[in-house]
Amino acid sequence: MPALQRILLKLSGEALMGDEAFGIHRGTIERIVAEVAEVSRLGVQVAIVIGGGNLFRGVAGGAVGMDRATADYMGMLATVMNALALGDALERGGTKARVMSAIAIDQVVEPYVRPKALQYLEEGKVVVFAAGTGNPFFTTDTAAALRGAEIGAEIVLKATKVDGVYTADPKKDPSATRYQRISFDEAMVRQLQVMDATAFALCRDQNLPVRVFSIFKPGALKRVVLGEDEGTLVHV
């Protein structure tokens, strides 16, 4: 039996880029979908919060000097596009999925309603949350912490390019070592950039652990779900 029964997976938009400068790399999204589908078939309830940085990069130059709230709403629309692509790829791969948005775009995507999201999860569908929290000035990290707490997830899995939290940047310092586990308080004292401060505080206050792992390591998501030593666990 999997060690985890309900998870909130936080995917950055950049995770979908592959080797592209921006946008969505089809092979990359299909590989991620295959890993999510494998975990779902184990009986694990999977919810996903996705970022939009990969698409927003394409308009980032034009956003310079723009009102912050306006730029953030543009970023939310980017997450909706990513969520639709992810939901479509899941469905094409044979995994039932529902996309729910924190901002109302009724003709395009279903609005986020907590009881409905819980119903979908209990039916075994993968639920993809789009548009962050629906508010400017909040990151998709914060949306992951919020949605994770709302749906009663056992853990937030932050999928990154790095296979955990290190004592220093492993790209700059070859002697850096990976933490197997670390407390929220210690991570804050050491100023380790696990998540943004708001998301980090929310997870700590809600006793919602975070595991940081690499989505680019084949089978890593399954190993995390099965309780194996993968990535770094951040806990109370």
**C-alpha–C-alpha distance, residues 229 and 226, integer Å:** 9
Buried b (16+ CB within 10 A) or exposed e, 157-188: bbbbebbbbbeeeeeeeeeeeebeebebeebe
Contact 87, 47 (CB under 8 A): no
Contact 224, 195 (CB under 8 A): no
In the chain, which ranges are E strands? Answer: 6-11, 45-50, 97-101, 110-111, 126-130, 155-160, 181-183, 210-214, 232-235
**C-alpha–C-alpha distance, residues 99 and 172, integer Å:** 38
Which one, of 192, 195, 227, lies nearest residue 12 by Cα? 195
Q: Could you give phi then psi for residue 109, rounded to 5 degrees? A: -150, 150
Contact 90, 41 (CB under 8 A): no
In the annotated binding site, the residues are 10-13, 52-53, 57, 72, 133-140, 160, 166, 169
In the annotated binding site for ATP, the residues are 10-13, 53, 57, 160, 166, 169
**C-alpha–C-alpha distance, residues 218 and 206, integer Å:** 31
User: Tokens 């901002």 map to which residue?
Assistant: 103
In the annotated binding site for UMP, the residues are 52, 72, 133-140
Q: Kind of pairing, strands 155-160 and 110-111?
A: unpaired
